[in-house]
Amino acid sequence: MKNEEVLEKVNKGVYLPLMEEFYTIQGEGFHKGTAAYFIRVGGCDVGCHWCDVKESWNAETHPPTAIEHIVDNAAKYSDTIVITGGEPLMWDMNPITKALKEKGLKTHIETSGAYTLSGEWDWICLSPKKNKLPEGRIYDEAHELKVIVYNKHDLIFAEEQAAKTNANCILYLQPEWSVRDKVVPMIVDYVMNNPKWKVSLQTHKYLNIP
Ligand SMILES: C[S@@+](CC[C@H](N)C(=O)[O-])C[C@H]1O[C@@H](n2cnc3c(N)ncnc32)[C@H](O)[C@@H]1O
Ligand SMILES: Nc1nc2[nH]cc(C(=O)O)c2c(=O)[nH]1
Ligand code: SF4
Ligand SMILES: [Mg+2]
């Protein structure tokens, strides 16, 4: 296929820049502890300085891959598929989620919400970032809000973001991994004083799994 044809397919979400895919245990948030197949799509320009997958940022380093291959493969492993990145909403998620749902699979997304919501989702984890705020209906659609806490100012940001979410949205504070020893006591204290919040940990990192 010609280069332009591939780019057109990526633009339509029929091909996606695939960084990696793996069967593991969801480590974070509401579904932590549940086996799931992860699809990590390349490309992100949000630029979180503490991002734990910076290798995902440059989409050009990840091969454009036909979604039917991704979906056929995912179906062999699990009935719960988590699409993450990178920032998956940089791409049109309608074709891949339609194909996953046609196979009866549950579709979950991990997103910053920095781009317009596309796709049909059973679970939306919204993890907003100050540098590129979410906009539009994602606050109404999110099932969980997961704010990363790097310092005490992030607790103020967390409240501002929580105020924009729907009433059923489950609220999580998750320590930024590199400063966990410092921020965990602060998060514990905050959650005990503000019990609408829950703690989320990156449990896969404690389990030494992907
Ligand atoms: C790598 S991101 C990819 C999806 C999307 N770009 C996002 O940020 O939601 C997956 C999840 O990991 C979180 N995350 C990334 N780096 C982290 C770190 N160093 N400590 C804790 N959580 C982190 C993000 O906030 C997000 O909830
Ligand atoms: N086990 C596991 N759980 C996760 N939950 C969200 C992740 C992500 O990077 O999006 C992630 C991840 O990378 N691994
Ligand atoms: S939005 Fe997500 S993938 Fe992008 S830099 Fe931030 S944590 Fe990393
Ligand atoms: Mg991760």
pLDDT tens for each residue of 182-194: 999 999 999 999 9
Closest-lying ligand 2 atom to the alpha carbon of residue 209: 1
CA distances from 16 to 107, 133, 135, 170, 197 (A): 16, 24, 23, 30, 35
Check if 138 has its Cβ closer than 6 Å to any atom of ligand 1: no
* Adjacent-strand bridge partners of 172: 146, 198
Name the strands in the sheet holding 106-111, side by side, starting at the edge strand that comes first in the sequence. Answer: 64-66, 15-25, 35-41, 80-85, 106-111, 123-126, 144-149, 170-175, 197-199
Q: With 0-12 CB in 10 A as exposed, 13-18 as middle and 19+ as buried, what is 56?
A: buried
CA angle 74, 78, 82 (to 5 degrees): 70
Pairing of strands 170-175, 197-199: parallel
Closest CA to 143 of 188, 95, 115, 111: 111
Mean pLDDT of the 111-129 span:
98
Closest-lying ligand 3 atom to the alpha carbon of residue 45: 4
Closest-lying ligand 1 atom to the alpha carbon of residue 51: 16
Domain interval for residue 34: 3-207
Ligand 3 cavity residues, CB under 6 Å? 44, 46-48, 51, 53, 56, 85-87, 112, 129
Q: Which of 38, 55, 129, 144 to mutate to test the pocket of ligand 2 (most atoms within 8 A of CB)?
A: 38
Q: Tell me what pLDDT residue 91 has.
A: 98
Side-chain-side CA neighbours of 43 within 13 Å: the count stands at: 19
The pLDDT mean for the chain works out to 98
How many beta carbons lie within 10 A of that of residue 192, not counting itself? 10
Domain count, the chain: 1
Closest-lying ligand 2 atom to the alpha carbon of residue 25: 1
Mean pLDDT of the 91-117 span:
98
Interface ipTM: 0.99
Residue 106 pLDDT level (bands cut at 50, 70, 90):
very high
Q: Which of 129, 138, 178 to mutate to test the pocket of ligand 3 (most atoms within 8 A of CB)?
A: 129
| CATH at 131 | 3.20.20.70
Q: Tell me what pLDDT residue 164 has.
A: 98
Structure pTM? Answer: 0.99
Ligand 4 centre distance from Cα of residue 81 (Å): 14
Ligand 2 cavity residues, CB under 6 Å? 24-28, 84, 110, 204, 210
For residues 71 and 205, give the distance between their C-alpha atoms in angstroms, rounded to a whole number: 26
For residues 208 and 23, give the distance between their C-alpha atoms in angstroms, rounded to a whole number: 14
For residues 170 and 148, give the distance between their C-alpha atoms in angstroms, rounded to a whole number: 14
Q: Tell me what pLDDT residue 82 has.
A: 99
